[in-house]
Structure 1
Amino acid sequence: MTSHLAEAGRTLVPREDDRYGLLSPALVILTFVAGLVDALSYLALGHVFVANVTGNIVFLGFAIAHAQGFVWWTSALTLVSFVAGALIGGRIIRRFGANRAQHLLASTLVQLAFVAAALIGIYVLNGLVPEPAMGGMSSDAAARAAQPSLNFPTGSQIDLHIILLIVLLAPAMGVQNSTARKLAVPDLPTTVLTMTLTGMVADASARGHEASKLGRRIVVMLALACGALTGAMLQMRGHEDVILMVMIACLLAVAALMLPHVHSDAVWVSGR
């Protein structure tokens, strides 16, 4: 148990000679961001994932089959927007891929721009849309209005807000996924953790608990779960803008970790 705790600690606070250095804590923060954004997207944007985007292929099948609660256009729009972000991520890799700190800093700043635009866009849309009149509403309508939402007064405005958030947040996560893939830090893909969980259990079964990398992998899974928990609690209270603010704070933290090292010749920066 002590060794697992030490491993967890080294993931969050790596040693100077660590092969992946500050990439590990930075990607743990981005894993928390993935949990936040998927809580927002699944609960408020029509059953889509903008970080764990593979699920949208399944959801698209559900929607085509007319399964209750699934709409085909939200899944399709998320997939297209995510791919656009991955294309941007590819261009960032071409420009900065030789230096890991510069690469992660550049991709994080691009993500930050998308999330900040989403936050500003929501405030602008909410300012343009008057608050709905409560008088004359049926009890069912009043109950629906009291539920957590993105403060959308009409169906047409719901579509507009959803479109805005999908086309800005899905590309941000496309950039993040392409970056994590290029950095290739073990057990830190930042979004899909199926193989991380599988590796933890299978390695322990095959080679003993010391080979499970339990400390490192638990940190990653807790980061995703805590992000989802935080996002869900804020969304259920109607604080979608706060979710975006927390995402911005996390992205700024990652940028702050990378900025002092963009000209470093450390092994974790050069990858050699």
Structure 2
Amino acid sequence: MTSHLSEAVHTLVPGRDDRYGLLSPALVILTFVSGLVDALSYLSLGHVFVANVTGNIVFLGFSIAHAEGFVWWTSTLTLVAFVAGAVIGGRIIHRFEGNRAKHLLISTCVQAAFVAAALIGIYLLNRFAPEPAMGGAGTGAAVAQAVRDTGPSLNFPTASHVDLHVITLIVLLAPAMGIQNSTARKLSVPDMPTTVLTMTLTGIVADTSAHGHEQSKLGRRALVLTALAIGALIGALLQTRGHEDVILMIMLACLLAVIALMAPHVRSDARWVTGR
């Protein structure tokens, strides 16, 4: 147990000569962001995932089979927007792949710009084009007054139609996560894809079974799984209380933390920066 705890601490506070250096804690933070954004998207945007896009392909199949037009549109829009983000991520890789700190810095800056745009967009929509409260109750004027009294929130129905609030969040958050996924894939830090953690969980169980618990990398892997779960928990708690704007603010703060981690090292020749 002590060795696993030490491994988790070393992941968050890596040594100077660590092969992946500050990439590891940065990707843990981005994993937490994935939990937040998927809680927001699944609970508020008609049961789609903007980070774990595999689920959207399944939902798309479900929607076609059951003729659920709302889910079909949201799933399709999410996939298209995510792919657009992956294209942007690919261009960033092409330009900055030789310096991993600069690569993560630039990609996170672009990702943060998308999240900031989503926050501003939702605030403006709630101020000037508020939707009826969830369940369709209340007049537009009543909702507008509620927004002024309590601050920005999504306040839109999520099971009947695609409105501007849903479209705004999908077209801004899905590209942000496409960029994050492409970046994590290129960095290839073991057990830290930041979104789909199926193989991470499988690795804990399979490696323990094959080689014993000392070879399971439990500390590192459990840390990542916990980050995703805590992000999802916090996101769900905030969403159920109508604080979707706060979720976006926390996401933005996390991205700024990653930027702050990377910025001082863009000119470093450390092993984790150069990849050599």
Q: TM-score, normalised by structure 2?
A: 0.90
In structure 2, which of residues 180, 184, 196 is the aligned counterpart of residue 180 of structure 1? 184
> C-alpha distance in 1, partners of 2:121/2:160?
16
Q: Which residue of 2 aligns with 1:239?
A: 243
> Deviation at 1:152?
2.7
Unaligned segments of structure 1, at least 5 residues: none
**Which residue does 1:264 correspond to in 2?**
268
Contact 1:99 1:270 in 2 (8 A): yes
- Contact kept, 8 Å, 1:152 with 1:158, in 2: the verdict is no
Q: Structure 2: how far apart are the matches of 1:155 and 1:107?
A: 33
User: TM-score, normalising length from structure 1?
Assistant: 0.92
Q: Which residue of structure 2 lines up, in the alignment, with residue 51 of structure 1? A: 51
Mapping 1:108-147, distance limit 5 Å: 108-129=108-129, 141=137
Report the CA distance shift for 1:156/1:62 in structure 2 as closer, same or farther (over 3 A): closer
Deviations 1:68-115 (A, max 9, x none): 796101000000000000000000000001100000000000000000
Partner of 2:206: 202
Give the distance between the partners of 2:225 and 2:243, measured in 1 at CA. Answer: 24
Q: Which residue of 2 aligns with 1:190?
A: 194
| Alpha-carbon distance change, 2 to 70 in structure 1, aligned in 2, over 3 angstroms | farther
- Offset from partner CA, 1:104-156 (integer Å, 9 cap, x none): 00000000000000000001111112575x9xxxx9946xx99xx72138999
CA distance in 1, matches of 2:159, 2:208: 50
Structure 2: gaps of 5 or more residues: 147-152
CA RMSD of aligned residues (A): 2.3
Query: Aligned residues, how many?
Result: 263
Would you identify which runs of 4 or more consecutive aligned residues in structure 1 move more than 2 Å? 67-70, 129-132, 139-142, 152-158
Give the AA of the match of 1:171: P
DSSP 3-state at the match of 1:265 = coil
Aligned-partner Cα distance in 1 for 2:226–2:217: 14
Once the two structures are aligned, what percentage of the paired residues are identical? 79
1:31-53 deviation digits (Å, cap 9, x = unpaired):
00000000000000000000001
After superposition, residues 7-22 of structure 1 pair within 5 angstroms as 7-22=7-22
Larger displacement relative to structure 2 (121-130 or 14-23): 121-130
**Aligned residue in 2 for 1:3:** 3
The 1:130/1:108 distance shift into structure 2, 3 A limit, reads closer
In structure 2, the residue matched to 1:105 is 105
State the alpha-carbon separation in 2 of the partners of residues 92 and 71 from structure 1.
Answer: 31
